[in-house]
Amino acid sequence: MSKKKKLIVANWKMNPASSAEARVLFAKTKRAGSTLDKVETIICPSFAHLALFAHMGTTRVSLGAQTVFWANSARVTGEVSPEIVKDLGVSYVIVGHSERRALGESDEVVAKKVCAVLKEGMSAILCIGEKERDADAKYFELLKNQLKNSLAGTARKSLLGLIIAYEPLWAIGKSAREAMSPRDVREMSIFIKKLLTDLYDPSIAEAVPILYGGSVEEGNTASLLAEGGIFGLLVGHASLDAERFTRVLKTANAL
């Protein structure tokens, strides 16, 4: 992970429906990302398509997984181990995305996954975010507990590979208009840095990159990156259209 470049993550979720489309999307995204020197593009295809792109990452365009199991040797039908994705050339793994938490992934399981990913020498993109904003601002407490519990067992020395993606659930899958405002993103990134300082120390808070995700599109990329106090973006639906995503990447690169 480059600490100098902005990290722009393409989270394809269960898309595209065919491997032919996935190949085209990958090729176009890779071509766009390869021309940019201030951005690291991280493409996270579904597990079924990941192997199509094995070892096709470069210094500018990396391969990521959307989740992983928390151990290498266990008898678990249907899961994929950190070792398997690493062998395909994966260097980033999204952990604890809200859509996985909604399927029952607990903080405890997320914490084990973070440890397993870091242990394998890959970077863990740990997702946290509140479901809603209540009038009493209880979401601050919720985020504090979510972060603390999701990092349980992660030793200070292994945190070099940690990235935090702040994704408020209410802002996911909508349009740029409904995304969080850059000002609020800035407030949350300061809050997360404060939590990291309390959990570890100021140098860790400084070193861990914070990303924002939730309806990032080409129209709000510049303001989020310039005013949000963040290191990069986690992009869902706008990463599925190569032309749109290229605009996101180029905008980020031009800042």
By annotation, the residues acting in catalysis are 97, 167
User: What b/e string do you get for 6-30 counting C-beta neighbours within 10 Å, with b at 16 or more?
Assistant: bbbbbbbeebbeeeeebeebbeebb
Alpha-carbon distance of 192 to 185, in angstroms, equals 10
125 within 8 A of 234, measured Cβ to Cβ: yes
Q: Supply the Cα-derived Rg of the chain in whole angstroms.
A: 17
Alpha-carbon distance of 92 to 155, in angstroms, equals 19
* Residue choice 64, 214, 228, 229 for contact with ligand PGA (CB under 6 A): 214
29 binding ligand PGA? (CB under 6 A): no
Q: Minimum distance from CB of 47 to ligand PGA (Å)?
A: 16
Q: Minimum distance from CB of 77 to ligand PGA (Å)?
A: 27
238 within 8 A of 217, measured Cβ to Cβ: yes
Q: Which residue matches tokens 């995305």?
A: 97
Q: Minimum distance from CB of 233 to ligand PGA (Å)?
A: 9
Total residue length of the chain: 255
Nearer to ligand PGA, 205 or 225 (CB): 225
> Which range touches ligand PGA (CB under 6 A), out of 41-49, 82-90, 197-205, 209-217?
209-217
7 binding ligand PGA? (CB under 6 A): no
Q: Minimum distance from CB of 172 to ligand PGA (Å)?
A: 4
- Closest-approach residue to ligand PGA (CB): 236
Specify the DSSP class assigned to residue 102. Answer: T
Nearer to ligand PGA, 15 or 19 (CB): 15
Q: Which of residues 168-187 bind ligand PGA (CB under 6 A)?
A: 172-173
Nearer to ligand PGA, 57 or 96 (CB): 96
235 binding ligand PGA? (CB under 6 A): yes
Nearer to ligand PGA, 36 or 234 (CB): 234
213 binding ligand PGA? (CB under 6 A): yes
Alpha-carbon distance of 48 to 73, in angstroms, equals 21
Name the strand (E) or helix (H) holding 11.
strand 6-11
102 binding ligand PGA? (CB under 6 A): no
Nearer to ligand PGA, 153 or 173 (CB): 173
Q: What are the distances in angstroms from CA 6 to CA 123, 124, 130, 189?
A: 15, 16, 24, 15
Q: Name the residues that contact ligand PGA, by CB under 6 A.
A: 11, 167, 172-173, 213-216, 234-238
